[in-house]
Amino acid sequence: MADPSAPHECLAAEPDRGERADRFLAARIGTLSRSRVKALIEEGQAREGGQVFTDPARPIRPGVLYTLTPPPPLPARPVAQDIPLDILFEDSHLIVLDKPAGLVVHPAPGNLDGTLVNALLGHAGEELEGIGGEKRPGIVHRLDKDTSGVMVVAKTERAHRTLSEAFAARDLDREYLALVWGVPSPAAGEVEAAIGRHQLDRKRMAVVGRGGAKSGKAALTRYRTERVFHGGVSLLRCKLATGRTHQIRVHLAHIGHPLVGDPVYLRRIPAASRALPEAARMALLAFPRQALHAASLEFHHPVTKDVLTFRADPPKDMQDLITALSP
């Protein structure tokens, strides 16, 4: 793997005359975002004909050699830990894995270690090129702590930037399995409703209006009913057209079909539970987490542009619950 702190040398030509230095260098280098190049220039890491300059808007002069030298990546703040991972695919650019339920993605107050980031540092720390100047994995998207399933993580800044752009543009396909209370009608459809912070409980998200002080962000979830159990519980396949926090959980609760086991959006024992046999009812009410699994992910490789498709079966606890519901 190339040295991420090696200098980048770019000789300006006549067509580059007057171009902003940060735009010129980002375009020529190709592996660093413009914001990253701008920050490096401001830190004094850029030279024009051997002379340091710190103005990202400095106009380019033809015939002059421009050099940008990123500093060596800083050690990651989270510590590397030997935590087993279920790796579905790995190359020098990215890692695709099946995240187990119960694993927090990123260190935060209350979860300072034992996270996916700690596990990735332990698994591939020396191979990480550095994201934003730090030797750390590039978290492109997240799954809630108690949601399981397929995730992709970048190992290089180029992969992180390209994959982040793909997620932002929804230039990918991802499907979730969700076990919900009740039977949706219609059996397949869309939930289009803006999502924002709950007005009273800031740890929760909610469907809110658009426009004004209480506005939310546009959100669209598509669902299809896969199976119905005892007329009171359904297994859905959900696809995200947007990617808001807790989107599937909020949208399904909004239409009256909260996820089984959801500790945040399932506020009371659902009326649909009365239709179930007692054993099934008790198993559902005892399920200790939201029954949500990221079943598949399809995207273009950030470097080769090949279409990559990955699938993962639900974890044993969710499979056992579905088996217990089956006639």
Report the DSSP pairing between strands 8-11 and 65-68: antiparallel
Quick: pLDDT tens for 183-238: 999 999 999 999 998 887 777 899 987 654 467 889 999 999 999 999 999 999 99
Residue 126 in domain? yes
Residue 150 amino acid letter: V
Q: Give the count of beta carbons closer than 10 Å to the beta carbon of residue 28.
A: 17
pLDDT at 4: 67
One domain for residues 251 and 307:
yes
Q: Reply yes or no on whether the pLDDT at 180 is more than 80.
A: yes
One domain for residues 49 and 153:
no
pLDDT at 309: 98
pLDDT at 183: 96
pLDDT at 213: 44
What Rg, from alpha-carbon coordinates, does the chain have? Answer: 24
Residue 47 in domain? yes
One domain for residues 115 and 197:
no
What is the percentage of the chain residues whose pLDDT exceeds 90? Answer: 75
Q: Where are the alpha helices (DSSP H) in the chain?
A: 21-29, 34-42, 116-124, 157-169, 247-254, 278-286, 316-325
Residue 75 in domain? no
One domain for residues 149 and 197:
no
Average pLDDT for the chain? 91
Q: Where are the alpha helices (DSSP H) in 174-270?
A: 247-254
Q: List the domain range (segments joined by +) for residue 28.
A: 8-68
Quick: pLDDT tens for 240-294: 999 899 999 999 999 999 999 999 999 888 998 988 999 999 999 999 999 999 9
Mean pLDDT along residues 102-119:
87
One domain for residues 45 and 105:
no
pLDDT at 2: 58
- CATH number of the domain within which 42 lies: 3.10.290.10
pLDDT at 212: 45
pLDDT at 54: 92
Three-state DSSP class for residue 165: helix
Among 169, 185, 204, give the residue marking a domain's end. Answer: 169
Among 40, 68, 96, give the residue marking a domain's end. Answer: 68
One domain for residues 61 and 182:
no
- CATH number of the domain within which 222 lies: 3.30.2350.10
Mean pLDDT along residues 112-122:
91
Residue 82 in domain? no
One domain for residues 39 and 19:
yes
Among 153, 169, 185, give the residue marking a domain's end. Answer: 169
One domain for residues 128 and 231:
no
One domain for residues 212 and 266:
yes
One domain for residues 208 and 278:
yes
One domain for residues 147 and 264:
no
Structural domain count of the chain: 3
Residue 24 in domain? yes
Residue 2 in domain? no
Mean pLDDT is lowest, of 42-56, 108-122, 178-192, for 108-122
Nearest to 311 by CA among 223, 228, 220, 237: 237
pLDDT at 6: 84
As a whole number of angstroms, the distance between CA 72 and CA 83 comes to 27
Mean pLDDT is lowest, of 66-70, 75-79, 146-150, 275-279, for 75-79
Q: Reply yes or no on whether the pLDDT at 136 is more than 90.
A: no
What is the percentage of the chain residues whose pLDDT exceeds 70? Answer: 94
Residue 231 in domain? yes
One domain for residues 237 and 202:
yes
Mean pLDDT along residues 151-163:
94
Residue 21 in domain? yes
Q: Which residues are catalytic?
A: 144
Beta strand ranges found along 43-132 (DSSP E): 46-48, 51-53, 65-68, 87-90, 94-99
